[in-house]
Structure 1
């Protein structure tokens, strides 16, 4: 009951810096802000932890999968050694060395990654990008929330104006919308990761 909690303003002081209307506004806004901030923080904390763990897993797998996009010179070395052994055997047997077929692999052989490898790496790189973007936006939202509820000093009228300025700024920066999109980004990252995993399994 604000009528009993705050004394009635003197005549002509209804909009003064210390008027009851500003103190009532601060009380109501304070309850609203705390509920909103706690809800956003709980959501962001869960998403941030999951996005961090997921990014670590995908980063490890991407590091291994990306090797398929580069030439594997160990295969070239093995092919050249096999050719050398064949030549030595031909020389021992008295066979003409020129009839020994050359290796199909050499340092000048063009390298083209398979379509499956390109798909797997593409899907996982995009998945990792979405996951890292989710983590970055989660950190920014937490910083916005911390700044939003930071203490305000001054008269009730001044505090009310600053609080309203912060609330309008948060709406203009679409913080609630960004918070609502964080799970969607994370779901997209998961779907892309599983799509890449399915492609990889079909190549085994």
Structure 2
């Protein structure tokens, strides 16, 4: 009961900087903020760990899949070496070098990767970008929340104003909505990864 917790204000002093109304507001808003911040922190911590682990897995697979999009340099090397061996044989036997067929491989030609390989890489790169973005947004939210709960100083009225200013900032920037979208982003990333995996197999 706040009437017992805080002394009654003198007549005409109900809105002074140290008035009871500000102390009551700080107590009530403090409990509200504690509940809100704990819920956000729990969600963000889970999202950070999940996004970090998932990004590590996807980046490993993306690195391997990306190699498949590039020119097969082993094949190029073997082809060129075979051509060189044929040329050396022709020179050793004094045969015509012009009759040696040229390698059909062209280093400037585009990748010979299949459409499926391109789709897999595209989906996995998109999945990686979304999961890393999720982690980045989660870190930003943690910083916002850290700033939100930073201690305030001054009279109860001044502390109330600072708290209200911070709360309006959280609402204006739609932080609860952003926190609610983090799992959706991670699910989308996982979905794209799994679709890419199905296409690969």
Q: Same fold (TM over 0.5)?
A: yes
Deviations 1:93-152, CA, capped at 9 Å, x for gaps = 9x9887776544354555332101110110011000100100000000000111001100
Inter-partner Cα distance in structure 1 for 2:5 and 2:28 = 13
C-alpha displacement at 1:30, in angstroms? 0.2
Report the CA distance shift for 1:167/1:108 in structure 2 as closer, same or farther (over 3 A): closer
Deviation at 1:77, TM superposition (A): 1.9
Aligned partner of 2:152 in structure 1 is 152
- Alpha-carbon distance between aligned partners in 2 of 1:92 and 1:98, rounded to the nearest angstrom: 14
Q: Per the alignment, do residues 3 and 73 of structure 1 end up closer, same or farther by CA in structure 2, a change over 3 Å counting?
A: same
* Equivalence for 2:34: 34
The 5-angstrom pairing of residues 116-155 of structure 1 reads 116-155=116-155
Q: Give yes or no for the alignment of 1:170 onto 2:170.
A: yes
Q: Following TM superposition, by how much is the alpha carbon of 1:83 offset from its aligned partner in structure 2, in angstroms?
A: 5.0
Change (3 A) 1:24 1:76: same
Q: What is aligned with 1:77?
A: 77
Please list every run of 5 or more consecutive structure 2 residues that lacks an aligned counterpart in the other structure.
none
The CA RMSD over aligned residues, in Å, is 2.3
* 32-41 or 95-104: bigger deviation: 95-104
Map 1:58-137 → 2, pairs under 5 A: 58-82=58-82, 103-107=103-107, 109-137=109-137
Aligned residue for 1:125, secondary structure, equals helix
- Quickly say closer, same or farther: Cα 1:109–1:148, change in 2 above 3 A: closer
Measure how far apart 1:68 and its partner are. 1.6
CA distance in 1, matches of 2:70, 2:101: 26
CA deviation digits over 1:38-76, x for unaligned, max 9?
Answer: 010001001101101111111111111111221112112
Partner residue, 1:57: 57
Q: Provide TM-score, normalisation by structure 2.
A: 0.89
Contact kept? 1:23, 1:156, Cα under 8 Å: yes
Change (3 A) 1:109 1:158: closer
TM-score by length of 1: 0.88
More deviation, 121-130/107-116: 107-116
Count of matched residue pairs:
201
**Cα distance, 1:91 vs structure 2:** 9.6
